[in-house]
């Protein structure tokens, strides 16, 4: 039986921009007079291509990226970029324009670049993703209480939490895993997973490891904790406190008894 605690850190994220198709505008057909020759099409009416680079880029939350939009049009009439991400600087040269996007915080954003050539508009699309690998994955030392081990794993500063899977392994076997896909928040998060494992004699001395796995549409980011060994006997905090109190009381009693014996010995020696 596992339980999950999710702590969200204040980090505002912008929504991702939905995909959209490229716009295209065609010129109307020219009319010609009766018996007149057909006009020759201009050179710029030939097909042209539009490319955007890189087509896929992953950045940490809050990072920035440059996208280059280029085309084969010899005389472009204009170019534009469609995105809900924050725009920065723009650089341009013959046949290309570079756009800077700032403070990327949406998990997945589609960016569209358009170029108009001889009245026709064509475009290309890129996808920008933002994710944060966990800062740390920490598995607390297992505690044996009664007939169950309590396993507690902490995953800190991870994004996007909705793509996270937390896995507990004993040796080479998965004993528990939990997906956080039901969490749709867009904030950096800390996650704590608690799991109760029934103790068996064969478990004593077995290593247990906690894994945090981000499944990002084909990109898998895996982090793990240091392994912890299942002890034969583990002391709970209450048991440790009781043991410390008992030891302190026993030492006090021994000191009192020793003092009485020493006093009696000195008294007998003085009389002699």
Total residues belonging to the chain: 272
Q: Of 229, 224, 243, whose CA–CA distance to 141 is shortest?
A: 229
Q: How far apart are CA 52 and CA 192, in angstroms?
A: 41
Which of 3.40.50.261, 3.40.50.11610, 3.90.1150.10, 2.60.40.10 would CATH assign to domain 50-130?
Answer: 2.60.40.10
Q: Do the two domains 50-130 and 136-230 of this chain adopt the same fold?
A: yes
What's the pTM? 0.57
pLDDT value for 267:
76
| Residue 133, both tokens | 């690998």
Predicted confidence at residue 43, as pLDDT, reads: 47
- Measured CA to CA, the distance from residue 272 to residue 267 in angstroms comes to 9
Report domain extents, the chain.
50-130, 136-230
Q: Is 70 exceeded by the pLDDT of residue 137?
A: yes
Q: Which helix (H) or strand (E) holds 207?
A: strand 207-216
Tell me which of 12-16, 43-47, 182-186, 214-218 is least confident: 12-16
Burial (CB count within 10 angstroms: exposed 0-12, middle 13-18, buried 19+), residue 66: middle
pLDDT in tens, 220-258: 889 999 999 988 754 556 656 665 777 877 887 888 887
Q: Which has more pLDDT, 100 or 255?
A: 100
Structure tokens at 233: 């006997």
Whole-number Å distance between alpha carbons of 227 and 169: 9
Torsions phi, psi for 148 (to 5 deg) = -130, 145
Task: Name the maximum alpha-carbon separation found in the chain.
Answer: 153
Residue 178: count other Cβ atoms within 10 Å of its Cβ: 16
Please provide residue 230's backbone torsions phi and psi, each rounded to the nearest 5 degrees: -75, 115
Quote the DSSP letter at residue 43. G
State the Cα torsion 244-248-249-255 to the nearest 10°.
Answer: 160
What pLDDT is recorded for position 24? 38
Instruction: Round to whole Å and give the CA distance between 235 and 150.
Output: 11
pLDDT of residue 268: 76
The CATH code of the domain at 136-230 is 2.60.40.10
Lowest mean pLDDT among 152-161, 164-173, 193-202, 233-242: 233-242
22-68: pLDDT as tens digits: 333 333 333 343 344 444 444 445 589 999 999 999 888 888 999 99
């Amino acid at each position: 039986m596992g339980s999950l605690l999710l702590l969200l850190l204040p980090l505002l994220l912008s929504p991702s921009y939905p995909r959209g198709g490229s716009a295209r505008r065609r010129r109307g057909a020219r009319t010609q007079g009766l018996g007149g020759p057909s006009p020759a099409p201009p050179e710029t009416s030939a097909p042209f291509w539009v490319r955007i680079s890189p087509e896929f880029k992953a950045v940490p939350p809050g990072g920035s990226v440059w996208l280059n939009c280029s085309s084969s049009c010899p005389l472009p009439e204009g170019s534009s970029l469609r995105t809900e991400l924050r725009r920065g600087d723009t650089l341009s040269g013959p046949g290309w324009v570079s756009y800077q996007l700032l403070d990327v915080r949406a998990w997945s954003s589609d960016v569209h670049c358009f170029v108009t050539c001889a009245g026709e508009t064509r475009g290309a699309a890129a996808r920008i993703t933002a994710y944060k690998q966990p800062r740390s994955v920490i598995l607390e030392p297992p505690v044996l209480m009664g007939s169950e081990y309590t396993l507690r794993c902490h995953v800190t500063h991870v994004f996007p939490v909705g793509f996270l899977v937390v896995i507990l392994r004993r040796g080479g076997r998965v004993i528990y895993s939990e997906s956080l896909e039901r969490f749709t928040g867009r904030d950096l998060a800390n996650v704590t997973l608690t799991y109760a494992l029934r103790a068996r004699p064969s478990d004593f001395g077995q290593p247990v490891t906690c894994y945090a796995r981000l499944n990002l549409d084909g990109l898998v980011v895996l982090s793990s904790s240091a392994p912890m060994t299942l002890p034969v006997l583990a002391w709970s905090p209450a048991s440790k406190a009781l043991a410390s109190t008992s030891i302190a009381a026993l030492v006090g009693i021994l000191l009192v008894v020793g003092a009485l014996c020493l006093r009696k010995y000195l008294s007998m020696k003085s009389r002699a």
